[in-house]
């Protein structure tokens, strides 16, 4: 059998095997929903078709087997995430037409330097810090084009084949994900958790309480990510060129032209409005960051540069926009709807009940593992919405204090590193090899899962702050 045929068949075979083997545990529809995830994972690894094509499988499988109403799946493919990515893409395409991408790439190299370790540290740190206050997808959409432009400038033209690009894009992908639980506003998943904990205790959960409980965990997870990325195999420890050379090249560019200035300030305005959302939300409740980016992206077709030309033409945008990113980012949401609405999640929860858990590390580990799994299948918000009420319910049934288990679950919801969906799809769309992310992400997921469970268990045992609100 030809390798291409075997790769092509791996997905349907995995789908059928999961459907048969898991039907007794999850029911026929639930097993087929999980089988869809198996099919997608295998095709993302072996890539017999483009990864964006693989991302359409939830629609195709559901249409063939009618697992749930297909409108519920299709609706996930044009959400706020897609609007955000489209707007961000239009803004960054105007960088290319005006030359701002070259200027930003040179400036980044001048500021950070050419040491790969230093680059990893800065990109990871910046992604973690920003995603504590901005939506994860916004952070990834901001940083990825800057990082890719910088890499291409130093000679890494083929991002998919570049080993130097891997740790930097992974730093953005993973940093944007884990930073979300650093503050209450970092992710909608956190607000879900706060809502449930307030219902549980009957008291308001102050944001400062969140910081005290989660920042120490985030620092540990950050160090785990940093050390893991530093130890990835790369062909060199530094980029080509020196800081002095890049400084000279930057000086040779001269002052910013009108087109560059417009693109820069509009990009800055988009970021500012995303940060300042609480200030104008009561007046403009519909103007979420996703729509801010789209509106500013649309302005690129209207505004003109110093030559009188529009900053961006539709012909250029149509041929250069990363449509695949938008499909990939949505596929996890579509897959999540399949797994939830087919009842697979309820069956999994019933399996937990049958384990006769007694609390302690094993219980913490299993709750965290389930949260990681659900975050891979959908999004951290969807995972939190599913896992937190389940954890509260099971903890009550086991006569356990639910607070530490809920806190551990919240942290685990942000520690998903494998499948190229939601935030993790963005670096893949910019050229990161999905199979590399999945291979390295699986290692880091297992490592982070164990460390997160151990830290949360020890905190539960020895830190009263972690067990009471």
pLDDT, tens digit, for every residue of 4-25? Answer: 888 899 999 999 999 999 998 8
CB 225: neighbour CB atoms within 10 A?
25
Q: Tell me whether residue 216 is exposed, middle or buried, using C-beta atoms within 10 angstroms of its C-beta: 0 to 12, 13 to 18, 19 or more.
A: middle
- The 3-class secondary structure across 254-285, one letter per residue, is CCCCHHHHHHHHHHHHHHHHHHCHHHHCCCCC
pLDDT over 80 (residue 237): yes
Q: Report pLDDT for 194.
A: 76
Select from 287, 270, 269 the least CA-distant residue to 278: 287
Q: How far apart are CA 141 and CA 271, in angstroms?
A: 11
CB 260: neighbour CB atoms within 10 A?
23
Contact 173, 422 (CB under 8 A): no
- pLDDT tens digit sequence for 136-149: 777 888 788 888 88
Structure tokens at 40: 């997608």
Q: How far apart are CA 423 and CA 417, in angstroms?
A: 10
Q: How far apart are CA 127 and CA 222, in angstroms?
A: 11
Q: Which residue has the tokens 């960054």?
A: 92
pLDDT over 60 (residue 374): yes
Q: Tell me whether residue 217 is exposed, middle or buried, using C-beta atoms within 10 angstroms of its C-beta: 0 to 12, 13 to 18, 19 or more.
A: buried
Compute the chain's Rg from CA coordinates.
23
Q: Report pLDDT for 1.
A: 47
DSSP calls for 134-145 = S-HHHHHHHHHH
Select from 44, 97, 54, 167 the least CA-distant residue to 427: 167
CB 70: neighbour CB atoms within 10 A?
15
Q: Report pLDDT for 469.
A: 60
**H/E element holding 331?**
helix 323-341
pLDDT over 90 (residue 385): no
**Phi, psi dihedrals of residue 56, rounded to the nearest 5°:** -90, -5
Select from 291, 285, 286 the least CA-distant residue to 270: 291
Q: Exposure string (b/e) for 73-87, b if CB count within 10 Å is 16 or more?
A: bbebbebebbbbbbb
% of the chain with per-residue pLDDT over 70: 96
**Phi, psi dihedrals of residue 220, rounded to the nearest 5°:** -65, -45
Give the model's confidence band at 290: pLDDT under 50 very low, under 70 low, under 90 confident, else very high.
confident
**Phi, psi dihedrals of residue 115, rounded to the nearest 5°:** -70, 125
Q: Report pLDDT for 222.
A: 94
Q: How far apart are CA 302 and CA 115, in angstroms?
A: 40
**H/E element holding 65?**
helix 57-65
Share the mean pLDDT of the chain. 85
- Side-chain-side CA neighbours of 298 within 13 Å: the count stands at 7
Q: Report pLDDT for 2.
A: 55
Average pLDDT for residues 189-197, to the nearest whole number? Answer: 75
Distances (CA, A) of 222 to 138, 163, 166, 410, 434: 19, 22, 18, 16, 22
Contact 404, 456 (CB under 8 A): yes
**H/E element holding 77?**
none
Q: How far apart are CA 433 and CA 436, in angstroms?
A: 5
Beta bridge partners of 304: 310
């Amino acid at each position: 059998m030809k390798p291409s045929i075997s790769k092509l068949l791996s997905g349907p075979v995995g789908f059928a095997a999961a459907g048969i083997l898991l039907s007794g545990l999850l029911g026929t529809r639930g097993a087929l929903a999980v089988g869809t995830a198996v099919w997608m994972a295998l095709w993302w690894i072996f890539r017999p078709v483009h990864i964006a094509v693989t991302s359409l499988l939830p629609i195709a499988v559901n249409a063939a087997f009618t697992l749930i109403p297909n409108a519920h799946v299709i609706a996930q493919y044009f959400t706020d995430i897609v609007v955000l990515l489209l707007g961000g893409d239009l803004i960054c395409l105007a960088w290319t037409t005006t030359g701002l991408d070259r200027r930003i790439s040179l400036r980044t190299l001048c500021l950070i330097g050419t040491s790969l370790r230093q680059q990893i540290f800065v990109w990871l740190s910046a992604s973690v810090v920003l995603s504590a206050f901005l939506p994860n997808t916004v952070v990834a959409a901001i940083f990825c084009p800057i990082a890719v432009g910088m890499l291409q400038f130093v000679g890494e033209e083929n991002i998919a084949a570049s080993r130097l690009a891997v740790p930097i894009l992974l730093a953005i992908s993973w940093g944007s994900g884990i930073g979300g639980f650093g503050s209450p506003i970092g992710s909608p998943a956190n607000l879900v958790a706060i809502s449930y904990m307030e219902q549980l205790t009957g008291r308001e959960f102050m944001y400062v309480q969140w910081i005290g409980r989660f920042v120490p965990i985030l620092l540990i997870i950050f160090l785990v990510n940093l050390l893991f990325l530093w130890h990835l195999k790369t062909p060199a420890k530094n980029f080509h060129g020196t800081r002095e050379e890049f400084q000279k090249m930057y000086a040779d560019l001269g002052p910013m032209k009108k087109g560059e200035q417009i693109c820069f300030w509009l990009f800055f305005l988009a970021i500012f409005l995303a940060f300042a959302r609480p200030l104008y939300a009561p007046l403009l409740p519909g103007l979420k960051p996703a729509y801010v980016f789209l509106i500013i992206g649309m302005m690129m077709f209207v505004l003109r540069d110093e030559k009188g030309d529009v900053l961006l033409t539709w012909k250029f945008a149509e041929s250069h926009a990363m449509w695949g990113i938008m499909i990939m980012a949505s596929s996890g949401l579509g897959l999540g709807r399949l797994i939830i609405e087919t009842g697979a999640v309820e069956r999994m929860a019933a399996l937990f009940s049958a384990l006769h858990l007694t609390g302690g590390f094993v219980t913490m580990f299993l709750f965290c593992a389930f949260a990681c799994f659900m975050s891979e299948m959908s999004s951290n918000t969807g995972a939190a919405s599913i896992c937190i009420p389940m954890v509260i319910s099971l903890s009550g049934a086991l006569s356990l204090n639910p607070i530490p288990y809920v806190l551990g679950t919240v942290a685990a919801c942000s520690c998903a590193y494998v499948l190229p969906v939601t935030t993790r799809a963005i670096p893949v769309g910019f050229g990161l090899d999905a199979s590399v992310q999945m291979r390295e992400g699986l290692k880091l997921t297992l490592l982070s899962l164990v460390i997160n469970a151990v830290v949360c268990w020890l905190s539960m045992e020895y830190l009263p702050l972690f067990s009471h609100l």
